[in-house]
Amino acid sequence: MHMSKEEILKELREGVLNYDEERVKKAAMRALEEGIDPFLAIKEGLTPAINEIGKKFERMEIFLPQLTIAAKAMEAGVAILEPALDKSQGEKVKLGKVVIGTVQGDIHSIGKNIVATMLRAAGFEVIDLGVDVAVDKFLEAAERAKADIIAASALMSFTKVMQRDLVEYLKSVGARDKYKLMVGGGPVNEEWAREIGADGYAEDAIKAVKVAKELLGLK
Amino acid sequence: MISFWEVARRAETGPMMKESDFDMRISMTAMELAKEYEIKYDPSVYVSSDNTMADDVWRAGIELLLKCGVYNVSNKRVITFEEHEVKEALKHVVSEFEIGKGKDRIKIQARGVEDSKKSTIFSGPFGVETSLDVFVPLNQAFIQEPLVDVLFHGGHIQSICGVNTIRANSAFEVIAARVYAELMNQALILGGRPFMPIVWGVAAGVSSLNELGADSFMPKNPEDIFRAVMFLPELKLDDVLLSKTAHFMNYGYPLYAGTTPVIGGYAGDANTAAIVAVAEQIATFLVFGAVVNHIGPQHMRYRSQTNPASLWMNSVMGQAVARNSKLITTTSVTTAGRPGSMQMHLEAAAMAICSVVSGRNLLGPRPAQPLYPNHHNPLHARLFAEVAHAAIKLKREDANEIVAQLVATYKDTLDFDKSPKGKTFEQSYDVRTLKPTEENLSLYKEAKSKLIDLGLELA
């Protein structure tokens, strides 16, 4: 049965809003079958839905599990649509690449996971290195992925110092200017970020997306 | 009862799974159970009076633990439990425990809902970066507060030997841990309570292994010192924590175990977080055989624990545990308002009242997200303890009314950019005489007066 463009875009939106990965996948495939511009399907179908999810999360109407499922549904849709994008469209869809991790000596993951999920939902490609990440591992991953941003999380006063070491390490090996560096976490504040020479600080995941966009000169 | 060694064995042999799958299993199972038991969060209630809901949350919490287990992030294995093991373990709960020596020996007890037994007060400058020059006087000022029963961690030393911020697992951390032990001894002696029970270290002090660097210089006998072992949220531990626990057991320390379920994180909303918290409360007892089992009702957005959702979650979870077990429990009180502010006094009072009528002992108060060194003020602990002791006369409905009025005073300034910034210990006390400043004392009296006006019987 033929589906109109509006119907397919609605399916993509509803799939994300209802945390239904299969529905999103089906709608994305249908979009390709019906010859709908994949860029349009992402921009007018998936993106508004994930933005709405982000707002719900910000208002605490939904929580991390729902955010994670919705982001996963969105990513599944993008994975189907992306190969059909032409080069210029592809560049527009991905906002940038972010390598993220919790610093060495620290095994707290929830805050970092939320930021990673929100960045993905906003359209960033995120390489999550997990927890207890050494400074050289951040750089290796950033080089491998050709990342734009390195984001380092710390939850303890005595591990936030590794964010400073990350800055120093990047400087020491001549890589500091290649990446924008964001820091965050419980004991971290703007003052600390400035002191160690990070490019950006955000106190929560919503603001992290805003800061990441600003750092890359995006709206 | 299941032994720690059996738990450790299961941590070596349990089924393997991805950590992200375990996180989502917790989330999804809690949501299913909340639906099945019809457990709903009511934002208009701060202190629940619903016994049926409390009992349902208890049953759901046990089911969650049996379905999900506890995850070892180090080797990706799940420690699982059988229903009969949980039931058997709960029969062996220690509901009374004596600790300390001489006049400072205290009895810590399991408390019931609306119990007339006083809550044990754990307090201290925990989690805050503390400079060496005020470390002893700050702790001494807490020790000299007569209503503080157990000193909870002396703050952590931020800089030493010219190293401004000590790095986890560095050699300086071992030195800091050793100095910490030395200074804690001094503070206890100078404070006139050399045998006061203490909770020695928490995760916010030094990293796990370096905490052991001070073991041979501990102030007293092992049996007088609680050692802290904390799960990662939600229902997770690692090899280091298991190793540390084995060490503490080998040397006969009583354990203080806990975790901080995060509302808004994988624990979900307040209703599902209450279920997760019950599972975690039981799990810390099963895994560690802890004497005291702690929950910090954390909130992802506020990062403090006195917001409406955390209050409700704490009351429901607390009553679930108090009505169905004899576990000795504590709730921590982390405030958005900072030391030396009226808001911190009122937030701490709200959570103290909520917790006491819900069957908890108390830990706190402390400012959330401790960004600034030496930001602690023992006068907050004094009023907090007084409120806790007055609250034993309250019924839950009365407590809810008072807490509602308290929440109304601070609910719009819970975000960090709006909450009062507060003062350091040196700004709030004469560091030489350890007397609070006039301004600090006036604020305490003003806060007390407000609480009396709300109906609390404070002397």
**Each residue's pLDDT tens digit, B430-458:** 999 999 999 999 999 999 999 999 999 99
| CB-CB neighbors (< 8 A) of B233 in chain A | 110
1.10.2020.10, 1.25.40.340, 1.20.1560.10, 1.10.1240.10: which CATH number matches A5-92?
A: 1.10.1240.10
ipTM, interface predicted TM-score of the complex: 0.85
Buried b / exposed e along B413-447 (16+ C-beta atoms within 10 A): bbebeebbebbbbebbbebeebebbeebeebbeeb
B358 phi and psi, to 5 degrees? -95, 10
Q: Which alpha helices (H) appear in B44-131, and where do they start and end?
A: 51-68, 83-91
Instruction: Sketch the domain layout of chain A as residue ranges.
Output: 5-92, 94-215
Interface of A with B in 145-164 (CB under 8 A): 156-162, 164
**In this structure, what token pair is assigned to residue B2?**
């299941």
- What pLDDT, on the 0 to 100 scale, is given for residue B200? 84
Residues B257-285 have a mean pLDDT of 96
pLDDT tens figures, A162-189: 999 999 999 999 999 999 999 999 888 8
- What is the per-residue pLDDT for B203? 44
Pick from B129, B134, B138, B184: which is nearest to B159 by CA?
A: B129
Q: Which residues of A touch B169 (CB under 8 A)?
A: 105
The domain spans of chain B are: 96-453
Cα distance between residue A42 and residue A44, in whole Å: 6
What is the side-by-side order of every strand in the sheet holding B236-237?
B77-79, B70-72, B236-237
A114: contact with B, CB 8 A cutoff = yes
Element (H, E) at B446: helix B438-453
Mutate to test the interface with A, among B19, B167, B376 (most CBs of A within 10 A): B167
Q: What is the pLDDT of residues B76-95, one digit of tens each?
A: 999 999 999 999 999 999 99
Which stretches of chain B sit within 8 Å of chain A by CB? 19, 23-24, 27-28, 31, 73, 129, 156, 158, 165-169, 173, 203-204, 206-207, 232-233, 238, 262-269, 300-301, 303, 369-371, 416
CATH superfamily of A94-215: Cobalamin-binding domain (3.40.50.280)
**pLDDT the model gives residue B166:** 81
Identity of the residue in B169, B238, B265 whose CB atom sits nearest the CB atom of A110: B265
What's the CATH superfamily of B96-453?
Monomethylamine methyltransferase MtmB (3.20.20.460)
**pLDDT at residue A121 is higher than 60:** yes
A210 has a pLDDT exceeding 80 = yes
Q: What is the pLDDT of residue B168?
A: 79
pLDDT-derived band at B204, boundaries 50, 70, 90: very low
Which sign, positive or negative, has the C-alpha torsion B286, B287, B291, B294? negative
Counted across chains A and B, CB pairs separated by less than 8 A come out at 82
What phi and psi, each to the nearest 5 degrees, are found at residue B237? -140, 180
Residue B372 contacts by C-beta under 8 Å, 6 or more apart in sequence?
A: B129, B338, B422, B424
Pairwise CB contact (< 8 Å): B169 & A105: yes
Question: Do the chains contact at A203 and B416, CB–CB below 8 Å?
Answer: yes
A60-112 pLDDT, tens digit each: 899 999 999 999 999 899 999 988 888 777 767 778 999 999 999 888 888 89
**Inter-chain contact B300–A110, Cβ cutoff 8 Å?**
yes
Tokens read off for B244: 């540390």
CA distances from B257 to B12, B119, B327, B330 (A): 21, 18, 12, 10
Q: HSE-up of B333 (CA within 13 Å, CB side)?
A: 33
Please name every residue paired with B107 in a beta bridge, in sequence order, or none if there are none: B98
Nearest to B168 among A69, A105, A204 (CB): A105
B124 conformational bin, left if phi > 0, alpha if psi -120 to 50, beta if neither: left
Whether residue A79 lies within 8 A of chain B, CB to CB, comes out as no
